[in-house]
């Protein structure tokens, strides 16, 4: 999991290794694959109307952006331990909140970097309005955050436990 503080991103060893492996793949074998796709599409002739060429170039651009993002993230990363203390909201925790204190209107989410977004559980960044509002709060406390329309919303922290994957 990650915890961002200024320009430092805290990662568990497992998360660091996973991101490093992705960077190595994108910087090596994936670059070779996309270069081959571009070369093959180029051989088809007129580039102005060559959909395969344009798709490969777009894919290459996205891949290079991801390489830059990972490089920057890992340059500023500090490796540490995942949170172990339940009851206090921190990055790497699964948080259960109740909207406006309504115990029937709840949401479970992982407070972590968007790098960990998955289909298993909704993920909110510690820098998001909700994430920054709940970060550091204890179970039973209320937290406020700003909605996109500028109004404030409040939630009650019902549970906070380490994410187990």
User: Please, where in the chain does CATH 3.10.50.30 lie?
Assistant: 93-162
Residues of the chain with CATH 1.10.287.180: 2-79
pTM for the whole structure: 0.57
Cβ-in-10-Å burial (0-12, 13-18, 19+) of 126 comes to buried
Characterize the bridge pairing of strands 123-124 and 106-111: parallel
CB 105 within 8 A of CB 99: yes
Least confident of 19-33, 57-71, 87-101: 87-101
pLDDT above 90 for 62: yes
Q: What are phi and psi of 88, to 5 degrees?
A: -125, 130
CATH topology for the 93-162 domain: Chitinase A; domain 3 (3.10.50)
**Among the four given CATH numbers 1.10.3230.20, 1.10.287.180, 1.10.10.10, 1.10.150.240, the one describing domain 2-79:** 1.10.287.180
Which residue, chain included where needed, has tokens 């340059």?
A: 75
| Confidence (pLDDT) at 53 | 87
pLDDT above 50: residue 162: yes
Q: Which helix (H) or strand (E) holds 96?
A: strand 93-99
pLDDT (tens digit per residue) in 86-139: 788 888 888 999 987 667 789 999 888 766 666 678 888 888 899 999 998 999
């Amino acid at each position: 999991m990650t915890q961002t503080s200024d320009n430092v991103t805290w990662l568990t060893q497992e998360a660091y290794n996973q991101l490093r492996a992705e960077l190595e793949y994108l910087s090596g074998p994936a670059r070779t694959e996309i270069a081959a796709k571009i070369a093959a599409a180029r051989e088809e002739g007129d580039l102005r109307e060559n959909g395969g060429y344009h798709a490969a170039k777009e894919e290459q651009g996205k891949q290079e952006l991801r390489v830059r993002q990972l490089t920057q993230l890992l340059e500023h990363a500090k490796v540490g331990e995942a949170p172990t203390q339940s009851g206090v909201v921190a990055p790497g925790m699964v948080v259960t909140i109740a909207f406006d204190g309504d115990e029937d209107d709840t949401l479970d989410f992982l407070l972590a970097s968007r790098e960990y977004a998955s289909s298993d559980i909704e993920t909110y960044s510690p820098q998001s309005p909700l994430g920054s509002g709940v970060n550091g709060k204890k179970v039973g406390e209320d937290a406020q955050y700003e909605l996109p329309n500028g109004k404030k919303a409040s939630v009650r922290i019902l549970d906070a436990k380490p994410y187990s994957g």
